[in-house]
Amino acid sequence: LRELWVELGERRYAICIGRGLLVRAADLLSPFLNPSSSLLVVSNPAVAELYAGAVESSLAAAGYKYGLALVPDGEEAKTLSVLAGLYDRAFEAGLDRRSAVLALGGGVVGDVAGFLAATYMRGVTYAQLPTTLLAQVDSSVGGKVAVNLPHGKNLVGAFYQPRLVVVDLNTLATLPAREWRCGLAEVVKYGVIWDEGLFELLESQVGLLARYAAPCLPEAGSPAPGLAARSLDSGTVSLLEEIVWCCCRIKAEVVARDEREEEGLRMILNFGHTVGHAVEALTGYTAFRHGEAVAIGMAAEGRLAVAMGMWPPQELARLERLLSAFSLPTRLPPELSPDAVLEAMHRDKKAVGGTLTVVLPRRLGEVTVVRDVPEERVKEVLEESRS
Ligand SMILES: NC(=O)c1ccc[n+]([C@@H]2O[C@H](COP(=O)([O-])OP(=O)(O)OC[C@H]3O[C@@H](n4cnc5c(N)ncnc54)[C@H](O)[C@@H]3O)[C@@H](O)[C@H]2O)c1
């Protein structure tokens, strides 16, 4: 078990990373749980089938009262109506102000369960038990919780920090290939924005990691646990532990220094996201998963940095090679016109006062937030980026 901390004064919390931690959930969480109040485990059917048993038996063995609430699989779970159902479940399960919510699943479950915790009875304790690579390296840390509105993603939410994040690497054994790809896109992002060593580690282990991301593995649903589990040997788990630890350390530091994205530092986590969000929105959130759109975005924003003379082209080539090795897309779909992408970039909720702000690399491991990026340049690069 490796532990690191998100330093937020009296709200500081630990991220525990290791194997087989779900069966120890009650033990790890006991400092934050009130033995006489009920708990609510929030998950979805696919994840619950694989992993709720481990958490439930740990809670039951320790004598905790708990309920299990399931939300639909996928982004549909992040709606106000699903949230309303969760408030009912919380009430039925007897949650009170000293209760806790445990979010067991990917980023979707983490976001909606976190928002439930932030708002039920003006806020109850919660912990994140992330089961996708993306959630383990990104969404479970930092306290951004939200649901979507028909007008857009994450429009109703809060900054509400968990009390603990428990990363059980064993859960990655069942992750579908496409979800590996999406998680790896965010991992690559950390390498570019902060940690050249992490980027080099990914390059040196590309063959091993690419096996999990390869499209020939099952794409959707919950594959038989034995299938991928066979290939998560202890060498791979050590590598994953190192990778997840590096990413969480970066996210923890950025969040500790700029919790509410007010100082500008947290914005660096948006590398690849300005173009990425535009691509997701223009394709109706169906053609690409978030990580895939971010991969397209990182390549496009990388090209912009090169075009602006800020970034050596050899480093862009390394980024593109790594993304391609993970079977991630690096080109914009040809049907998206640069004008439409540019307009969507302006609509992104992070655009401020009509000017385009983009996070651009200077060298591997370092980025800068560039305001007032010349639109013509962006358009040219978007045109070049179409496949
Ligand atoms: N709060 C934040 O800071 C933050 C950051 C990034 C993304 N997000 C949000 O995260 C969401 C995406 O999260 P995600 O990529 O984890 O997607 P997800 O939660 O939809 O999970 C992806 C799929 O994998 C399945 N799954 C999860 N764990 C599994 C496992 N161990 N084995 C087999 N299948 C498993 C899920 O059932 C789902 O079908 C988006 O809604 C995004 O907005 C939030």
Predicted confidence (pLDDT) per residue in 317-330, tens digit: 999 999 999 999 99
The active-site residue out of 44, 148, 170, 270 is 270
Rounded Cα distance, 246 and 216, in Å? 28
Q: Which of 78, 178, 189, 277 is catalytic?
A: 277
Identity at 373, one-letter amino acid code: V
Mean pLDDT of the chain: 93
Nearest CA to ligand 1 atom 5: 139
| Model confidence, pTM | 0.95
Per-residue pLDDT tens digits for 210-267: 999 988 654 555 444 434 444 688 899 999 999 999 999 999 999 999 999 888 899 9
Contact 276, 294 (CB under 8 A): yes
Which residue's CA lies nearest to atom 21 of ligand 1?
106
Atom 41 in ligand 1: residue holding the nearest Cα = 108
The confidence score (pLDDT) of residue 348 equals: 74
Ligand 1 pocket: which of 79, 82, 108, 131 to mutate (most atoms within 8 A of CB): 108
- DSSP codes, 9-70: GGG-EEEEEESS-GGGHHHHHGGG--TTS-EEEEE-HHHIIIIIHHHHHHHHHTT--EEEEE
> What is residue 19's predicted lDDT score, i.e. its pLDDT?
95
What pLDDT was estimated at residue 225?
A: 40
Cβ atoms of 205 and 184 within 8 Å: the answer is: no
The catalytic position among 186, 280, 301, 320 is 186
Q: Which atom of ligand 1 is nearest to the CA of 289?
A: 15
Ligand 1 atom showing the smallest separation from residue 146 Cα: 1
With 0-12 CB in 10 A as exposed, 13-18 as middle and 19+ as buried, what is 30? exposed
pLDDT of residue 230: 42
Rounded distance between C-alpha atoms, residue 347 and residue 276, angstroms: 13
Please tell me the predicted confidence (pLDDT) of residue 308.
96
Distance of CA 330 to CAs 28, 256, 299, 359, Å?
40, 31, 6, 17
Residue nearest to atom 12 of ligand 1 (CA): 107
Stretch among 89-93, 233-237, 291-295 having the lowest mean pLDDT: 233-237
261 given a catalytic annotation: yes
For the CA atoms of the chain, what is the radius of gyration? 20
| Catalytic site includes residue 290 | yes
- Residue among 78, 153, 266, 289 flagged as catalytic: 266
What's the CA-to-centroid distance between 139 and ligand 1, angstroms?
8
Return the closest-CA partner of residue 253 out of 2, 4, 18, 16: 4
Told to judge if 44 belongs to the known catalytic residues of this protein, a careful annotator would answer: no
Q: What is the pLDDT of residues 127-170, one digit of tens each?
A: 999 999 999 999 999 999 999 998 888 999 999 999 999 999 99
Asked if 211 and 231 count as a contact pair (C-beta separation under 8 A), the reply is yes
337-379 pLDDT per residue, tens: 999 999 999 887 565 666 899 999 999 999 999 998 999 999 9
The contacts of residue 196 (CB under 8 Å, 6+ apart) are: 363, 364, 365
User: Active site includes 186?
Assistant: yes
